[in-house]
Amino acid sequence: MYKILPGFITSVALVLSMSACADGNGSATAADVPKNDTTPVETKEPNTNYKPAFAGQTRIAGVKTKTAYQGKVLTSELNAPWGIVSMPDGRFLITEKKGQMRIATADGKLSDPITGIPAVVYRSQGGLLGLTIDPDFTKNRMVYWVFSEGISGGNVTAVAKGRLSNDEKTIENATVIYRALPAYKGTLHYGGRILFDKSGNLVVSTGERSDLETRPQAQWLSSALGKVVRITKDGKPAAGNPFANDPNAKPEIFSYGHRNVQGLAWHPVTGELWENEFGPRGGDEVNLVKIGKNYGWPSITYGIEYGGGRISGGKTQEQGMEQPVYYWDPVVSPSGMTFYSGNAIPEWKNNLFIACLSGSHIARLVIVNNKVVGEERLLSKEGQRFRDITQGRDGALYAISEGGRLYRIGK
């Protein structure tokens, strides 16, 4: 069994007590801290004997939602959905991996497939991936999405934009605005999430394409693989990016040293960017993304090779490289995520909800002062590989699964 480090309970208690002092700039108050702590929700043996860098970095105490809620299946007719975003009128725009979008009403009625989307490389992990809508969508009806695109030399993580037609049957004037270069003849680790920041720029995650050949490029500033990039609506590097004045760096890079980021979310109180990324065998991570920082892959990791070997000699810490706020071993395969900012279930306020694939659940993380202080697993009895999650206009959470389901999670 996993052994809790000396001082673990004391340290967690300290984190909890500190929350009573959190002000408007903090992520919680004393009332937000769960009082029903139990043993960790993870009971399986870890793959490694690596020690966390600090207490509470993994296998935190479990919590349980006290408010009555339900997870209701609204439809099972989606075809391998990958991304979901709330529309201003309460409906949802959803990508299907094979290369089409659908609109779903809040009661689960689906539109016909939306046409006009550029061809995707639909193989293995490739396809039509994450999406977002313009902050001025009600006026311009613009949609932005990520997909795997075939180009000379292989395929890339690409970003495109287009206008949803008035009759909602097609995407008009679809245009590819960004490609994460170099291209590679592989079919894994595209990243694929996309968000708008407060300044109207796009934040996009890329993968390092998995293979030993490309893996080191996560550390290269001359490569867009294994990065979080920040670009304009036209795909140009956004102003204020950290390496804009480095002639040897890609000017679109915001952070680097990532493996395969499939979750991006803004904290509703602090406004900070959070991400999650897949580890190898163990070492799935949740990170607080800071501009210009190095998140370590593959130089440091809490996971091991799929064959069992150590990565980079088994190093988990390195000066100048960021530690994950939280990690899982064994993996849960975290994908899309969102912070809850609704009022329907007050105990969920500012909690992070993550759609987990191999974990077959929605992970709820309670975060206080940028530390995870509690973990819960929702809908684990559904047997679904959850791919993405968003908050609806009604204050409930809506999640999609690879099995084609759309869930409403709330009161």
Question: What residues act catalytically?
Answer: 189
Query: Which strands make up the sheet holding 334-339, listed edge to edge?
Result: 334-339, 352-356, 361-368, 371-378
H or E element in which residue 13 lies: helix 8-18
CA torsion through residues 211, 212, 215, 221, sign: negative
Map residue 264 onto helix, strand or coil.
Answer: strand
CA torsion through residues 326, 330, 331, 332, sign: negative
Give the tokens for residue 45: 């043996």
Q: Is the peptide bond before 298 cis (omega within 30 degrees of 0)?
A: yes
Residue where the block lists tokens 């293995």: 124
Buried b (16+ CB within 10 A) or exposed e, 82-119: bbbbbbeeebbbbbbbebbbbbbbbebebeebbebbbe
Give the tokens for residue 231: 């670009």
Number of continuous H segments (helices) and E segments (strands) in the chain: 2, 23
DSSP class of residue 45 equals P
H or E element in which residue 145 lies: strand 142-151
Give the tokens for residue 23: 């002000």
144 and 159 Cβ atoms separated by less than 8 Å: yes
Query: CB neighbours of 8 closer than 8 A, spacing ≥ 6?
Result: 55, 56
DSSP-assigned beta bridge partners for residue 263: 276
